[in-house]
Amino acid sequence: MIKRLSIVAFFTGTAYIFTIFSLKYLSATTSAFSLKSIGEIDSLVNFIVSVVAAGMLLSAVRNIAISADWKKEFLNAQRARFTLGLIIALFGFLSFTNINYILFFFAPLVALNGDYALYGRSKPVTASILAFIKISFPYLVVVFTLWFKPEWLLFSFIASTTLVYLVTGFFISRKLGTPYLIMPSWKSLNIYVHSLSMGVVSFSYYFIGLGLIWLAAFFYEDVAIAAAFLGIKLYTIFKGVLRMLNQSFFREMTDEAVRLKVDYLAMFAGTIFLAATVLFQEAFISVFFNKGSVLQSTSLVLLGCTGFLIAPFISLHTSVLLERKDRLFSRLSLLGIVVAASACMISSFIFNGADSILFSLLLGEFVIVAGLITICNKKNLFLPRLAFFRRNLPLLVIPIGSRILFGDNTYSFIGSLCVYGVLFLTTNWKSFILHKQEKEMRLYES
């Protein structure tokens, strides 16, 4: 189990790291307009993936995992996805107003990519390798395009994204022994109707993130959108790590002790993220972006605060689902979307900069977190998390002291946070070990 999780983490992490440094290179070598366009395309891809997945993905994976005739379940899900993909493709005609919308024509290819079935068939390693390819290949192509044909930048990003979904989708169908192409059916869309509540939740994960880039394109200048894209892309990677941690213990989340352990680890990541963006802003920009980055000091603080806000309660997302509070969660998610969207639009008339977009992100996440706390309504929700944070608060003297003594530079940034991380994990090692009763419960459940 540990070996499998390590391999998955390796490929997922490598893909994220490659994306970060590709964006750093792009921000240093392309114009704000090109970076903004890449951000829009990336946002559109994630939009298509989110809409096609909607709320049916979780039930589809579950059915594929437990059904004797899993291929039938998979084909039913694929038929619904492909049908919806064809409907989304109609929006490709909007490319006459914005050339980036041509990506909608390729929505059926995204829909036919059945990578989710690999998790249902207990093939997470294969899924992680394919995810690595899908995430990194388009950015690899873009980097090479900048070297040889910079004028083909946007075309290469769209073409490589389309190609990678086509090739990996075909490979997955071969791996599963199922047909790649399948006939669409209007009736198959009932799957989405039955999972509408979770569809809203799934969409909120996209919108309160890269989705804001798509909306901001109508209200903000290119420079602001380019800067916001860099920050939000990094934030979505951070949040993706937290969600991966959360999903790794999905079955055990019924136990409050396990949820606390997950949140403790997330708090550790959130604290590092906040310390990096507040204490070492110049080094942070130098490592993840470039020295001439348009990201401002306030933008980094907003990103750090947002990451730190969601971390201590990341397990509540799963807890609400396991308690079957889907409708409440969907209403909360819709409220978060409305708040984030409203703030993004209204702020553009007050201050047309990246800070306004990132502040909208913070507001949307705040609504979600506050709502989840209200929905869960559990006793002692704050006390153990607050006690854990207070217990580890003295360790922050390491990055703070390093910043004061050695300044804001790469060595101080990386060195102090590494020392902080090692001391944190060694000090709290027992907090992350399952006790005998928890192990027996997990053994019984499995």
**Averaged pLDDT score across all residues of the chain:** 82
With beta carbons less than 8 A apart as the criterion, state whether 281 and 408 touch: yes
- The segment with the largest mean pLDDT, out of 130-134, 245-249, 290-294, is 130-134
Chain position carrying tokens 């792009």: 26
Q: Each residue of 225-245: pLDDT tens digit?
A: 888 888 898 898 888 878 776
List the chain domain ranges.
1-194, 198-446
Closest CA to 56 of 174, 248, 202, 187: 202
* Helix (H) / strand (E) containing 429: none
- Lowest mean pLDDT, pick from 110-124, 205-219, 392-406: 110-124
Distance in angstroms (rounded) separating the CA atoms of residues 159 and 152:
10
Q: What is the pLDDT of residue 438?
A: 46
Sequence letter at residue 63: N
Contacts of 94 (CB under 8 A, 6+ apart): 101, 104
Q: How far is CA 414 from the centre of its chain?
A: 24
Q: pLDDT tens digits, residue range 82-128?
A: 999 999 999 888 878 777 788 889 999 999 988 878 876 767 678 77
Residue 345 has pLDDT above 80, yes or no: yes
Q: pLDDT class for 185, splitting at 50, 70, 90?
A: confident
CA atoms within 13 A on the CB side of 95: 16
pLDDT > 90: what percent of the chain?
21
